[in-house]
């Protein structure tokens, strides 16, 4: 297992991208890509749900593009991956595409609030899978059967991306888990998962309830022929939420079940600097190793 080896060509691309992405926004060249802010009424949630769509400069609804679904973390919103001081996804995807590291792609974010992407008090899992994905792909005439559908998420969003990829593996070609808060058997004391009603019973965090949603429950160890997406797991080595343990446990578990996966641990904490770098790294690998 190699955690730090990157081919020199990819390392050069990522180094340039990461350096540029740290510059102030007024130094970023004007792009002809666009961010569309919109919303839809969810029947599953009985509420209006906000979302954003990034369209590359090359977008034309008569052409086909890969689709990247980005899940935000606890306390976030549909804007986290859009903000220049956080995900800065427009610049990141513009740059990778310009460098020919990835093809032009569409990216989508949605406001999932603090639901951790599960069907509990609110049916956020159902809203995402049954409503958002079909809505986006119909509205923009995207056909994932012809191209890639990728899911990625940071922290609680990584937890959601992992669950979606295991529960609906036929939907995704690849799954990028950025510091995923997918603890097993239980989260550490400082995890925000312990503070929300979803994982509580009688007002207290309930370990059995937490484990009922875990990836262990979603993996079918009896069906070795089941196709899963390729998983790209990453974190910073100084992550204060003990995510290094999570991604190494996932690596070991996936290996036991012969599920294709890659692990990247870089210097850094639970931060956007880590997530931007790792997302760029993993997207580049996805489109250069097939």
**Beta-carbon count within 10 A of 146 CB:** 9
Residue 79, pLDDT score: 98
Domains in the chain (CATH in brackets) are: 8-286 (3.40.50.1820)
For the chain, percent of residues with pLDDT exceeding 90: 81
| CA-wise closest residue to 191 among 180, 177, 203, 202 | 180
pLDDT tens for each residue of the chain, 290 residues long: 444 445 555 564 555 555 544 543 434 455 689 999 999 999 999 999 999 999 999 999 899 999 999 999 999 999 999 999 999 999 999 999 998 999 999 999 999 999 999 999 999 999 999 999 999 999 999 988 777 999 999 999 999 999 999 999 999 999 999 999 999 999 999 999 999 999 999 999 999 999 999 999 998 655 667 899 999 999 999 999 999 999 999 999 999 999 999 999 999 999 999 999 999 999 999 998 75
- CA–CA distance, 117 with 12 (Å, rounded to integer): 35
| CA-wise closest residue to 53 among 163, 142, 165 | 142
- CA–CA distance, 12 with 20 (Å, rounded to integer): 12
Residue 1, pLDDT score: 40
Residue 144, pLDDT score: 81
- CA–CA distance, 279 with 100 (Å, rounded to integer): 16
Residue 24, pLDDT score: 39
Residue 145, pLDDT score: 77
| CA-wise closest residue to 194 among 156, 240, 164, 239 | 156
Residue 136, pLDDT score: 97
- CA–CA distance, 40 with 87 (Å, rounded to integer): 23
């Amino acid at each position: 297992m190699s955690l730090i080896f990157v081919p020199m060509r990819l390392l050069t691309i990522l180094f340039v991208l990461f350096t540029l992405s740290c510059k102030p926004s007024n130094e970023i060249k004007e792009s002809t890509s666009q961010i569309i802010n919109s919303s839809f009424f969810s029947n599953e949630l009985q509420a209006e749900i906000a979302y954003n769509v990034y369209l590359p400069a090359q977008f034309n609804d008569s052409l086909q593009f890969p689709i990247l679904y980005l899940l935000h973390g606890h306390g976030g919103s549909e804007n986290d991956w859009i903000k220049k001081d956080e995900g800065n996804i427009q610049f990141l995807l513009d740059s990778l595409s310009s460098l020919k590291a990835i093809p032009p792609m569409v990216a989508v974010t949605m406001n999932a609030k603090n639901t951790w992407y599960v069907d509990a008090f609110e049916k956020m899992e159902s809203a995402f899978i049954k409503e958002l994905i079909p809505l986006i792909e119909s509205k923009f005439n995207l056909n994932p059967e012809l191209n890639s559908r990728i899911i990625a998420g940071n922290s609680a969003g990584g937890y959601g991306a992992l669950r979606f990829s295991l529960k609906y593996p036929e939907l995704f070609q690849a799954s990028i888990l950025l510091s995923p808060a997918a603890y097993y058997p239980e989260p550490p004391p400082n995890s925000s998962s312990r503070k929300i009603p979803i994982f509580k019973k009688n007002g207290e965090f309930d370990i059995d309830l937490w484990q009922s949603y875990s990836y262990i429950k979603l993996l079918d160890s009896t069906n070795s022929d089941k196709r899963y997406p390729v998983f790209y797991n990453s974190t910073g080595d100084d992550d204060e939420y003990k995510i290094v343990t999570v991604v190494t446990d996932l690596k070991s578990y996936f290996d036991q079940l012969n599920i294709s996966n890659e692990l990247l641990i870089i210097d850094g904490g639970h931060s956007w600097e880590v997530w931007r770098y790792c997302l760029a790294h993993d997207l580049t690998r996805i489109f250069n190793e097939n």
